[in-house]
């Protein structure tokens, strides 16, 4: 029996996206497919169980962020949107303005089905599904043979082309295009052609999965990371914040720098005290976690200008109180540096002012 549209999507796209393997993308998904899937009475229970287990295993490594056992309909809509965005990273789609306009319209309609995540469970579920986006890539193959050459974008070469490799002097050269490079293909075709701009669509898709958004913080312009309301709201939850910080530390210095720059950019605008306080906690906890990890492993200490400046502005006692840590632990992890010059233009000042934490700054 042929696979239903839903089961085919789960088996060839969602499952390998979550569990690893070859993700298949072919064509575009129209918005009506979500209504079709919602009426499918026979989703494959085995595939759903494998997806659920992989999500659970990934989330368990991030900490106590909750379980993810069901693939909600709006999460399927978010997956469908990423399916379309990945399809439009193919080089042949670059110059097809009509196709790009259709893809933009359909994908925005798909995203219209996706509610903004408000709970820890919703944020966790979406990252459980999309957390491997950064690991995706496309393998392109250039084949040369006695009669010429052929290029295969994201698919294996035809058997007839690579047959009898010695006799036909076949030589294959494979190139892997990583996910962050693929995203560059979503830029508009022309500077003024907003109808072919898929970058803004990708921004919406990323914002709807805040942990995934942060896990790709080092992505290049024009998709450079910027704080979105869902991401700030998610970071107000201590468990989600801890998970995000572990992800950022795993991504390394480029990701941390990208988040610092996004915070500095947002701090130039008027912020409510709760938002400023949440962002302050992000950078202080990131600093403390990095310092404690470095101390345990013997690695070099943290180099985080924004977090360090906020820490020195607040002092050990107030920082320890904010983070709920013993002051003695902070002293061991971040010992005083008498040679540290006082910054002339403290980068954390706007943030701490908005958070109403500047009263005793020295």
pLDDT in tens, 40-50: 777 888 888 88
Give dist(CA 248, CA 250) in Å, integer. Answer: 5
> Mean of the pLDDT values across residues 56-66?
73
To the nearest 10°, report the CA torsion of 328, 333, 338, 343.
Answer: -110
Token pair, residue 170, equals 């076949």
Token pair, residue 301, equals 């200490």
Residues in contact with 303: Cβ distance below 8 Å, sequence separation at least 6, in sequence order: 253
pLDDT in tens, 233-279: 999 999 999 999 999 998 889 999 999 999 999 999 889 999 999 99
Residues in contact with 21: Cβ distance below 8 Å, sequence separation at least 6, in sequence order: 15
Asked whether residue 338 carries a pLDDT value surpassing 80, the answer given is no
Lowest mean pLDDT among 163-167, 303-307, 342-346: 342-346
Domain boundary assignment for the chain: 1-135+182-224, 137-181, 252-362
What pLDDT, on a 0 to 100 scale, did the predictor assign at position 302?
60
What pLDDT, on a 0 to 100 scale, did the predictor assign at position 2?
41
What pLDDT, on a 0 to 100 scale, did the predictor assign at position 14?
94
What pLDDT, on a 0 to 100 scale, did the predictor assign at position 362?
43
Q: How confident is the model at residue 148 (pLDDT cuts 50, 70, 90)?
A: confident
Give dist(CA 131, CA 213) in Å, integer. Answer: 9
Of 59-63, 137-141, 209-213, give the range with the top mean pLDDT.
209-213
Taking CB atoms within 8 Å and a gap of at least 24, the contacts of 150-159 are 153/90, 153/91, 153/92, 154/25, 154/90
What pLDDT, on a 0 to 100 scale, did the predictor assign at position 67?
53
């Amino acid at each position: 029996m042929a696979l239903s549209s839903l089961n085919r999507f789960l088996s060839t796209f969602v499952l390998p996206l979550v569990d690893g393997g070859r993700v298949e993308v072919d064509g575009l998904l129209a918005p009506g497919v979500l209504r079709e899937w919602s009426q499918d009475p026979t989703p494959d229970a085995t595939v759903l169980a494998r997806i659920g287990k992989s999500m659970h295993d990934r989330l368990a490594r991030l900490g106590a962020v909750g379980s993810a056992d069901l693939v909600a309909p709006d999460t399927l809509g978010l997956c469908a949107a990423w399916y379309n965005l990945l399809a439009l990273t193919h080089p042949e789609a670059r110059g097809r303005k009509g196709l790009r306009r259709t893809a933009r319209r359909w994908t925005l309609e798909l995203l219209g089905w996706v509610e903004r995540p408000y709970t820890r469970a919703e944020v966790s579920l979406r990252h459980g599904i999309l957390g491997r986006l950064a690991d995706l890539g496309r393998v392109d193959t250039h084949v040369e043979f006695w009669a010429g050459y052929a290029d295969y974008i994201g698919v294996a070469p035809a058997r007839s082309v690579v047959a009898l490799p010695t006799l036909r002097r076949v030589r294959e050269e494979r190139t892997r295009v990583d996910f962050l490079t693929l995203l560059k293909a979503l830029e508009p075709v022309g500077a003024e052609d907003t109808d072919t701009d898929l970058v803004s669509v990708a921004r919406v898709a990323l914002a709807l999965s805040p942990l995934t958004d942060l896990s790709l913080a080092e992505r290049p312009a024009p998709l450079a990371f910027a704080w979105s309301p869902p991401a700030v709201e998610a970071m107000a939850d201590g468990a989600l914040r801890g998970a995000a910080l572990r992800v950022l530390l795993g991504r390394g210095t480029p990701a941390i720098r990208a988040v610092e720059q996004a915070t500095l950019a947002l701090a130039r605008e008027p912020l409510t005290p709760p938002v400023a306080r949440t962002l302050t906690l992000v950078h202080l906890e990131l600093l403390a976690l990095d310092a404690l990890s470095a101390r345990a492993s013997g690695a070099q200490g943290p180099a985080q200008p924004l977090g360090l400046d906020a820490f020195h502005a607040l002092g050990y006692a107030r920082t320890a109180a904010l983070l709920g840590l013993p002051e003695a632990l902070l002293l061991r992890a971040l010992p005083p540096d008498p040679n540290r010059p006082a910054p002339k233009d403290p980068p954390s000042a706007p943030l701490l002012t908005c958070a109403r934490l500047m009263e005793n700054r020295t």
